[in-house]
Structure 1
Amino acid sequence: MDIGIDGRVDTGAAANVGAVQNDTLRSARFRLEREAHWRQLDELVTRAEKGGTAALGYDEVRNLAAGYRQAMNSLSVARDISLDRALIAYLESLCARAYLVVYAPQESLGGLTARLLLQGIPQAVRRSALPLFIGFLALILGAAAGYKLCQNDPSWFYTFVPPELADQRTPDASADYLRSTIYGDEGHDSDRLAAFSAFLFSHNTTIVILIFTLGIFVSVPSFILTFYNGLILGAFFAMFARRGLGYDVFAWLSIHGVTELAAIAIACAGGARLGLAVLLPGARTRKEALRHQAHDAVKLAILAALMLIIAAVIEGFLRQLIQDPFWRIVIGWGMGVFWMSWLLLAGRGSKTSREAAR
């Protein structure tokens, strides 16, 4: 007990000390009665965190679920009777870890990647018919306009194509020089090809990121940028066609262009999904519509990035190593058939199964 300066007992201080001692005893008793269950749960959670629930047996999984419920009940009681904070913090941490083990998706990174490739991306593509139409329309219209304008007046080439991209391949170049850029020995050293492939991937990725991110502005900037890339394509094709190299440049473009140009159009489609959410939100608010459309839009962006990686490898290596125009066309359009088959057919069985389950 405490004695004041006047010699009287400080009953308030004594009561406080007694209350603290009582709370400490109550917490110790509460913990002693339940600590064995908490330790068992902690051990099961730790094992599941390291090896997944597959590492646990049937009885252990059942004990894990029961232990989680008991720990949640203990946490609720501890909060209600205001036990010490250290005990409450311990229970909160244990319950949070157990919740993630019991309720979070138990799937490896490989499983998530496989599900994305086999179901998520193909299904997102099939749900994006209108945005894909917008993306490919922009590219095709741009290519047609660029070809027509440069076919009638070659000076348009200098308007559409930046000098660093033309690299002396201009309407003023001779047919022999243009042919040499298609079939000439551009250097087959592996280091040079790897560097060239990395440059192309970086360049194309920048374009795709711009097209995708600008789509949120009601899709118009994405459409314009995709249209402009089509103008460049049409201008290049017209320049070679005027020199009698139409078939040759078609093969030269096919081997990588089928994949690369499709990636640009798909990135435009991803941006268009965001833009359409802003322009036509429907019954949702614009924020909700953006959140809803973003799921498929991001999958389209991932697809475009994957296609760009493959296009960069093809353009940096195969296009330099394979000189026969026939095989360039076979490889390029064969890749197109692969993309179409994957995106149109993959994931249909899983979707049917889900609908049947409903």
Structure 2
Amino acid sequence: MDVDAFVLAHRPTWDRLEYLVKRRRHLTGAEIDELVDLYQRVSTHLSMVRSAGGDPVVVGRLSGLVARARSAVTGAHAPLWSEFRRFWTVSFPVVAYRAWRWWLGTAIAFLFVSVLLAVWVASSPDVRDALATPGEIERLVNHDFADYYSEHPAASFAAQVWLNNAWVAAQCIAFAVLLGVPIPYVLLQNALNVGVIAGFMFSAGKGDVFLGLITPHGLIELTAVFLAAAVGMRLGWTVVSPGERPRGQVLAEQGRAVVSAAIGIAAVLAVAALIEALVTPSPLPTFMRIAIGLAAEVAFLAYVYHFGRKAVAANETGDISDAPDVVPTR
């Protein structure tokens, strides 16, 4: 197909459809019939251009035009509840499921660094002395670490925790625009903090206190952060290696999917913050607090696996419905 000739031949039709779509609230009966007819014709044009592997810019324009025309023809958007249900059963879980390799790799790297540093700190008095004074370590292991979870009212503490965790996750996703290069640094900072504190606590014989306080909320909290890092790095890698499809098309699709992931991750972090504010400092036995955190983690992973696998089988990507195929250029 000669794309230039095709565009030249059909541009008047596309321009006319765009004009009718813009005036859809003020059309006459004849113009409504014309809108429906042009919508069907331009949909065919879009299929032809896609099949011929046409210019991504042309495909993008026609995709957006067809989507707007479809909205004008049907006269209504999907019900809000339908969009809400689709997000939680398709858009968010499929993005998480498709990123599982990045997700798992991020978790393994983080835990490896944290455990390695914790063992080093716990087994080396010289390292501990270089990191903090004996008085500072004593305050941390005997007071500060445990008091952190109970020194503020639960509601304000939950809000503070959620904001802190959401900020870390937001950085991971936002750094995708830099090809995801800064994301490992963000994770490394957090892994070092976890490792150092764990080393101090275990060296003082307070390993059970550390695990009993960090596990209930830490499981799902870190899982959400790992997911944010995974989708951010995956989006960055899309720029480097888009595969066989045009880079702009793949980047637009993945970018919109990452927005879905960001919303879902914020909700998961809200759950983690509630557990940290209400369960972690509670007088419940340690095994029960850990069981609650473990149940939340298993439920989230099962949710992603069930709905994500189902959406992948249906060839869903997490992209919005009727989205344009490329990143807008103007």
Matched, 1:280 2:241: yes
Aligned with 1:186 (options 139, 145, 150)? 150
Q: How many residues were matched structurally?
A: 265
In the alignment, the residues of structure 1 paired with residue 97 and residue 303 of structure 2 have an alpha-carbon distance, to the nearest angstrom, of: 11
Unaligned runs of at least 5 residues, structure 2? 1-23, 38-66, 317-330
Aligned with 2:97 (options 106, 126, 131)? 126
Unaligned runs of at least 5 residues, structure 1? 1-40, 46-63, 74-95, 162-167
Name the residue aligned to 2:137: 171
Secondary structure of the equivalent of 1:219? Answer: coil
Q: Percent identity?
A: 22
Secondary structure of the equivalent of 1:173? Answer: helix
Q: Is the 8 A contact 1:138 1:227 kept in 2?
A: no
Name the residue aligned to 2:270: 309
CA separation of 1:289 and 1:169: change in aligned 2, threshold 3 A: farther
In the alignment, the residues of structure 2 paired with residue 323 and residue 109 of structure 1 have an alpha-carbon distance, to the nearest angstrom, of: 40
In structure 2, what residue type is equivalent to 1:320? P
1:271-350 matches, within 5 Å, as 271-346=232-307, 348-349=309-310
Secondary structure of the equivalent of 1:321? Answer: coil
In structure 1, what residue type is equivalent to 2:122? Q
In the alignment, the residues of structure 2 paired with residue 227 and residue 151 of structure 1 have an alpha-carbon distance, to the nearest angstrom, of: 19
> For the pair shown, which has the larger CA radius of gyration, 1 or 2?
1
TM-score (norm 1): 0.63
Matched, 1:209 2:161: no
How large is the Cα RMSD of the aligned pairs? 3.8
Matched, 1:143 2:114: yes
Aligned with 1:224 (options 185, 195, 205)? 185
In the alignment, the residues of structure 2 paired with residue 316 and residue 286 of structure 1 have an alpha-carbon distance, to the nearest angstrom, of: 44
In the alignment, the residues of structure 1 paired with residue 108 and residue 154 of structure 2 have an alpha-carbon distance, to the nearest angstrom, of: 33
- Give the ranges of 4+ consecutive aligned residues of structure 1 lying more than 6 Å apart after TM superposition: 64-67, 157-161
TM-score (norm 2): 0.67
Name the residue aligned to 1:17: none
Which structure would you say has the larger RCO, counting Cα contacts within 8 Å and 6 or more residues apart? 2
CA separation of 1:137 and 1:157: change in aligned 2, threshold 3 A: farther
In the alignment, the residues of structure 1 paired with residue 94 and residue 149 of structure 2 have an alpha-carbon distance, to the nearest angstrom, of: 42
Using the TM superposition, give the Cα deviation of residue 65 of structure 1 relative to its aligned residue in structure 2, in angstroms. Answer: 10
In structure 2, what residue type is equivalent to 1:332? G
